[in-house]
Amino acid sequence: MALNDLFNSAPIAPALLTPSLWMIIALPLLGALVCGLFGRRLGRENVHLVACAAVAGSFVLSLLAFWATSSGAPSVPDTFGGFRTSHALWADMGTWFRAGEFRVNFGLLVDHLSGTLMLVITGVGLLIHLYSTSYMEHDDGYWRYFAYLNLFVAMMLTLVMADNLVLLFVGWEGVGMASYLLIGFWYTDPAKAWAGRKAFVANRMGDFGFLIATFLLVLVVGAFSRQSTPEDFRFVRTFRNGQSTETGRGDPSRFQAGLALRGPVTFQGLETLARALPEQQSNGAVTLTTPIAEGPLKGRTFGGVLTVALLLFLLGAAGKSAQLPLYVWLPDAMAGPTPVSALIHAATMVTAGVYLFARMSSLLVLSPVAMATVAIIGATTALLAAIIAFAQDDIKKVLAYSTVSQLGIMFMGLGTGIFWAAVLHLVTHAFFKACLFLGAGSVMHGNGDETDIKKLGGLRHEMRWTWVTFAIATLAITGIFPLSGFFSKDAILHGVHLNRIAGYEWVHSLLFPVGLVITACTAFYMSRLYLLTFEGKRSPEAKVAHAHESAWTMTLPLVLLAVCSVVASVYAFPVLKGRPEALMDNFLSSVFGPTRDIVRSAGTVILDDSLPKMTDYLLAWAVALVGGGAAAYLYLSFFPSRQGQPAQPFALQVRRVVQNKFYVDELYELVLLRPVKFLSFLLYRVVDSFLIDTVLVRGSAWVTVRFGSALRYLQSGDAQAYAAVMALALLGGVVYALFQVL
């Protein structure tokens, strides 16, 4: 097995690489600094060089780090007295900040999960940088653009490399800021600036939930470290072939020492907590139903607080990943440059929510309520977005809704406990959706920035590279057999079908058919997009008579991404000898293995490890073919043959409602914005204008002035006036004396 040896060797020893992990983040940050400060003076070529080189360097380092994790030797020490995290590099740079008992370390962790994401971020990011050098050729703000792009990559890397929730939040906020800057990149256009603002505000709402959830977890960990007994740390127990073997016993003091050393929000500590909680033990051990003894959460149970924290994390993830309550920003965010859409809205940032839940999987499986909510939110979002995508005519908006929909599918996977498939779909989606977005950008580039698919058509012969890659990516997302999207989506649907959340069995029987409907919808709208853009005759309304193919810097990323979206399907196969599970499952088992142990001892989810059978594949394939076939029939023969005939009023009505996104934005306007606006109007008029401005500010001045002008008469400087006062006093004295005498 020469290949195996290659993977298990590390070209640079982990011990050498670990102290330099920070450079992976620092390189693009430095690139952003150089481009941002000196970009205008450096000139176009140099900015391109700096920006691409920074990301390329980061990519090489990520690759080396990722490679080193597989060499077997390195692992993170079991600071918390739990398990050694295997197949990971970990660099702790010491205390970042501390306040009283609470401390946060600046620690970076590269394991198979974050390593996969690092490769996606820097790899796809590099291709998008390369593509941007051509796409932004004529833009004056190119240096600003590349600075933002580098900043985004740096922040996204911080997000995935963080070994604790607080550092993750830094990246979480950082990508939000970078996306705000990039979506509103053409800030002179008010609509585009507004879109950036909308994304920012929607994200902030989610981030608020994230923060509160983090604080809750800090409190829970603190309460646990005080209440736990040695009995809790019986988790040093391994499951092999369904048999549980106890291999030792932990120690609460180890956990507390770990907290003192590395802070309460490190993922390793949270995992130890998650392992300790579900055990059905006696002897005063802390379990999910134990009430918290002291502190602000006194009286609530550990499980209850965890559920609330996870639901708040879901809100945070909904903001970042554009899920149901907060998804409205993503389609508007298409106002930014197209490569940005590909980088942020397909490959990286919007998947941050999926990453977060994959990272927190050990806690998630402890709460069936949270899992069911995640799955249902995901399914609802996916279905709603897929239906809205039916009626969009803007090429980028269709892709945007498709992204929302695909993310919903990933959340369905997370909510039903098939984490590896969600991550796999994240990766494959990054490939084909980035390819689609960049293809759309290429189409726009070659057609005078036309985005209306009804005014395109027939590009097949004019833009060959774009056509081929776009077709491959469309097939991949549609779920056609040999491409990656099919397998990753099918793995999720398989999990949704067969995994069972304890107490919420109906979720699965409901979600599986919904998942099939979503698949059919995806196939339909993607086929429609593809057919209207590339097939048929050129629309008479087209802006330019003949489209031109883009430069190699734009087509090369397209080709590479298309190749990736084909090749990535290998991860869904059980290719390893003696390993029945899929390659990605096996590969991520170092991350999700502990989660499995927890699930087994908690019994909150019943995981099904079987691989999809041929019948499952056939069903999924048939559904996708039906959706795609319906689109092909409608848009290739039905609608063209009815050209010139009036459409049904009912159909027009439905189309209008769907086109306006079911009036969700308007609903928000009515339910949220109006009351808030009215309240702020009231506050402005009553509190600010009247109470503060009139009564307090001007009122106090008025009183002083009046008082002063009254007192002024007492000091006129007029000797006669003083004398008059004296005389009056004298008179008073005389009158008093007279009364006394008489």
Partner 1 sequence: MVPISYYLFLAAALFCLGMFGVLVRRNALVVFMCVELMLNAANLTFLAFARMRGDSAGHVSAFFVIAVAAAEAAIGLAIVIAVFRSRGSVNIDEIKTMKH
Binding site for partner 1 (CB under 8 A): 715-720, 722-724, 727
CB-based contacts of 240: which residues, under 8 Å, 6+ apart?
Answer: none
Nearest of 357, 350, 355 to residue 373 by alpha carbon:
357
Backbone angles phi, psi at 302, to 5 degrees: -60, -45
| CB 679 to partner 1: min, Å | 53
| CB 730 to partner 1: min, Å | 9
What are the residues facing 99 on neighbouring strands?
Answer: 102
Tell me the HSE value of 719 on the side-chain side, using a 13 A CA sphere: 0
CA distances from 333 to 180, 194, 340, 392, 530 (A): 9, 9, 9, 15, 22
Q: At 685, which helix (H) or strand (E)?
A: none
Is residue 433 within 8 A of residue 346, CB to CB? The reply is yes
Residue found under tokens 């800021």: 177
| CB 701 to partner 1: min, Å | 24
Q: Using alpha carbons only, give the angle 590, 373, 363 rounded to the nearest 5 degrees.
A: 35
| CB 733 to partner 1: min, Å | 14
Give whichever of 241 and 709 is closer to partner 1, judged by the CB atom: 709
Give whichever of 578 and 717 is closer to partner 1, judged by the CB atom: 717
Beta strand spans in 310-377 (E)? none
Give whichever of 2 and 711 is closer to partner 1, judged by the CB atom: 711
Within 10 angstroms of residue 650's Cβ, the number of other Cβ atoms is: 8
Is residue 432 within 8 A of residue 484, CB to CB? The reply is yes
Give whichever of 696 and 734 is closer to partner 1, judged by the CB atom: 734
Q: Which long-range contacts (CB under 8 A, 24 or more apart) does 387-393 make?
A: 387/521, 387/658, 387/662, 388/658, 388/661, 388/662, 389/521, 389/525, 390/521, 390/524, 390/525, 390/528, 390/658, 391/655, 391/658, 391/659, 392/331, 392/659, 393/452, 393/453, 393/454, 393/659
Nearest of 203, 155, 356, 351 to residue 270 by alpha carbon:
356
| CB 736 to partner 1: min, Å | 17
- 486: amino acid identity, one letter: F
Give whichever of 696 and 735 is closer to partner 1, judged by the CB atom: 735
Give whichever of 652 and 728 is closer to partner 1, judged by the CB atom: 728
Q: Using alpha carbons only, give the angle 70, 272, 77 rounded to the nearest 5 degrees.
A: 45
Give whichever of 247 and 720 is closer to partner 1, judged by the CB atom: 720
Give the ranges where 634-742 is alpha helix by DSSP (H).
639-641, 649-659, 664-668, 674-682, 699-712, 719-741
Nearest of 240, 273, 237 to residue 254 by alpha carbon:
273
Q: Give the integer Cα–Cα distance in Å for 310 and 370.
A: 6
Give whichever of 638 and 722 is closer to partner 1, judged by the CB atom: 722
Q: Which long-range contacts (CB under 8 A, 24 or more apart) does 467-470 make?
A: 467/534, 468/562, 469/435, 469/439, 469/555, 469/558, 469/559, 469/561, 469/562, 470/435, 470/436, 470/439, 470/440, 470/443, 470/530, 470/533, 470/534, 470/558
| CB 707 to partner 1: min, Å | 18
| CB 735 to partner 1: min, Å | 14
Q: Give the integer Cα–Cα distance in Å for 239 and 188.
A: 60
Give whichever of 73 and 730 is closer to partner 1, judged by the CB atom: 730
| CB 714 to partner 1: min, Å | 11
Give whichever of 187 and 722 is closer to partner 1, judged by the CB atom: 722
Is residue 98 within 8 A of residue 260, CB to CB? The reply is no
Give whichever of 693 and 718 is closer to partner 1, judged by the CB atom: 718
| CB 704 to partner 1: min, Å | 20
Give whichever of 241 and 715 is closer to partner 1, judged by the CB atom: 715
Give whichever of 99 and 719 is closer to partner 1, judged by the CB atom: 719
Tokens of 675: 């009351």
Nearest of 446, 536, 526, 544 to residue 479 by alpha carbon:
526
| CB 706 to partner 1: min, Å | 20
Give whichever of 687 and 726 is closer to partner 1, judged by the CB atom: 726
CA dihedral 484→113→575→558, nearest 10 degrees, is 30
Is residue 332 within 8 A of residue 199, CB to CB? The reply is yes
| CB 724 to partner 1: min, Å | 5
| CB 697 to partner 1: min, Å | 30
Give whichever of 696 and 724 is closer to partner 1, judged by the CB atom: 724
Nearest of 450, 467, 449 to residue 458 by alpha carbon:
467
Give whichever of 245 and 720 is closer to partner 1, judged by the CB atom: 720
Tokens of 191: 């609509």
| CB 686 to partner 1: min, Å | 44
| CB 702 to partner 1: min, Å | 24
Is residue 234 within 8 A of residue 558, CB to CB? The reply is no
Give whichever of 577 and 712 is closer to partner 1, judged by the CB atom: 712
| CB 97 to partner 1: min, Å | 59
Is residue 108 within 8 A of residue 118, CB to CB? The reply is no
| CB 703 to partner 1: min, Å | 24
Beta strands 605-606 and 85-86 are unpaired
Is residue 223 within 8 A of residue 297, CB to CB? The reply is yes
| CB 722 to partner 1: min, Å | 7
